[in-house]
């Protein structure tokens, strides 16, 4: 799977590609320790050392995934806040029927998302949902 991930780069987002690569490398490292917890190694001190090495390999694996989850949650909160703010501005503009205010909101929206500005219609109100 690691060769496939490196060769094809299936993710468009660079963050997801890095996370997937790190996950595959850590899982490969964790699989290395799997025979250490079987009867093939009778020494208890060797099992003890393998156990700690397993934990030291698992720690960065979990830490990187938790960091990516936190970053994704923050990005989602920021995106949701922006949409709610634009929605509130648009509703106020429609409420007071000011075409200039509506165009200002749509211009901000199109600037943020790279979409062209359209004239005031009912369709624009549904786009902000």
pLDDT tens, residue by residue, 1-55: 767 777 777 777 787 888 888 888 888 888 888 888 888 888 888 888 988 989 9
Average pLDDT over residues 92-121: 60
Rounded percentage of the chain residues whose pLDDT exceeds 70: 72
With bands split at pLDDT 50, 70 and 90, how would you rate the model's confidence at 105?
A: low
Give the model's pLDDT for residue 102: 66
Structure tokens at 92: 């106020």
C-alpha of 103 from chain center: 32
Average pLDDT of the residues of the chain: 77
Look up residue 82 and give its two tokens: 């922006």
Can you tell me the distance from the alpha carbon of 129 to that of 1, in angstroms, rounded to the nearest whole number? Answer: 39
Task: Check pLDDT > 50 for residue 69.
Answer: yes
| 120 close to 103: Cβ distance less than 8 angstroms | yes
| Gyration radius (Cα) of the chain, Å | 25
């Amino acid at each position: 799977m690691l060769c496939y991930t490196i060769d094809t780069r299936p993710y468009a987002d660079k963050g997801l590609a890095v996370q997937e690569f790190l996950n595959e490398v850590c899982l490969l490292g964790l699989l290395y320790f799997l025979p250490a917890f079987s009867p093939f190694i009778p020494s208890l001190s060797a099992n003890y050392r393998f156990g700690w090495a397993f934990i030291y390999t698992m720690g960065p694996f979990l830490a990187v995934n938790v960091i990516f989850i936190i970053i994704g949650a923050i990005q989602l909160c920021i995106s949701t806040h922006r949409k709610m703010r634009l929605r509130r501005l648009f509703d106020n503009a429609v409420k007071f029927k000011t075409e200039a205010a509506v165009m200002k909101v749509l211009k901000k929206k199109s600037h943020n998302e790279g979409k062209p500005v359209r004239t005031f219609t009912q369709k624009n109100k549904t786009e902000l949902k």
